[in-house]
A and B are shown apart, each in its own frame.
Chain A
């Protein structure tokens, strides 16, 4: 029943997974660029952004068409709303990748210095959050999505630790301020990637269970 509608829902899901793949690849590449200081990888990140933006608009239009023409209900309605939100978060993940690549390019103008911050580890955790959130989406697995939420504190703590150690370094060795500031911003970008993964996980829970768990820790 409603064969066309359910095929369209499947198409929407497939396009979102393509978007997810592109956003995930962009963030991986930006971290690889940081690790290797390879500016050609930064270029790949910059070039991927317009495609991600185009896909964001395409997915939004597909979702809008389904809302307008199919009047979805219940789990289908929640699915489409979740796709719209996840789509926006994935686009923002792509933006964070670009931001990181911009910082890496700036860092290239300075001598390499072994900063007291483990950006690859932070990146690994943030990427794992994105990957798990998307896995939860693929499998409609609210429990896996909950596990993602639990990881966000770790990313926040690592970002706080990076801030502390890098601001201390800036005080002690002002000549390293540009490098330290760039690393600080990258840590902040990765922390934001973790936040987007959290949002995606919350959207999966909303879709699967119909429960709105956003801002649960700050609710009055």
Chain B
């Protein structure tokens, strides 16, 4: 199967775009390896649609690997593989769709903003759409503007976005540009791997405000080392340790009364 159900028709575009609801993700018995290293061990986790789910844990615990398994990026690394079931809506991404189609439906934002330096702001946002086969200028214009507005960047770049390079923006703006680029392809899920770790507090606050707004339309999974950030943005939080999901609970419970001692030790700084 090449297409996920319930997604907007590319050619149809227009009014319907960007208004679809996100889809839930069901992860069952997910295991991942780097060579012989068993990086993720039997992960079971439900990500509710139109919610923000945060993943926390010490470095090397597997949370980024987990996120990369959700859009099949993990397997792009030589020697890496994953097994198990990841259902996004009605689709098992490891059985029912190609990685290219999956990544078109699941946007990703990384720790460091990575705009294409030689492209204009406009082209940075439009690039994913054009790679997808859409070339009509009207559709592209509309998609770029809508994505920049969704990423709360439009007001800051609307006068220069066709001329200025994406690399000319500040770090916080570049990260929002990357979010706009991810949104332009109309994903249903947005994966964010430490999206604000390289940003100042004001830019971080803008990203968090964005998450609050975007989860009405998208399902968001965020990896963060900043526990206050997880507490602020996510309805549910998962704690990873040594490749295992130790606890997955409503965020308010994780940060006020976690069920597992290991979670408590980690979030109170007693870990290790």
Which A residues are closer than 8 A to B by beta carbons? 1-2, 5-6, 71-78, 210
Contact = CB atoms under 8 A, between A and B. Distances in A.
Interface residue range, chain B: 10 to 19
Contacts, number: 37
B72 to A, nearest CB: 34
Interface in B232-272: 254-258, 263-264, 267-272
B151 to A, nearest CB: 28
Nearest to B254: A74
Going nearest first, the 5 A-B pairs with the smallest beta carbon separation are: A210-B257, A2-B269, A73-B267, A1-B269, A74-B264
Contact of A74 (B228, B256, B272): B256
A2 B231 CA distance: 19
Interface of B is mostly: helix
Given A1-B271, A77-B256, 16 more contacts: A1-B272, A73-B227, A73-B231, A73-B267, A73-B268, A74-B254, A74-B255, A74-B257, A74-B258, A74-B264, A74-B267, A74-B268, A75-B268, A78-B256, A78-B257, A210-B256
Given A77-B255, A78-B256, A210-B257, A5 B264 contact: no
A117 to B, nearest CB: 44
A6 B270 CA distance: 9
B230 to A, nearest CB: 10
User: Which of B227, B228, B255 lies at the interface centre, i.e. has the most chain A CB atoms within 10 A of its CB?
Assistant: B255
A72 B269 CA distance: 9
Interface in B73-93: none
B232 to A, nearest CB: 11
9 contacts: A1-B270, A1-B271, A2-B270, A71-B228, A73-B255, A74-B255, A74-B256, A74-B267, A78-B257
B61 to A, nearest CB: 16
Contacts of B254: 74
A71 B254 CA distance: 14
Interface in B8-25: none
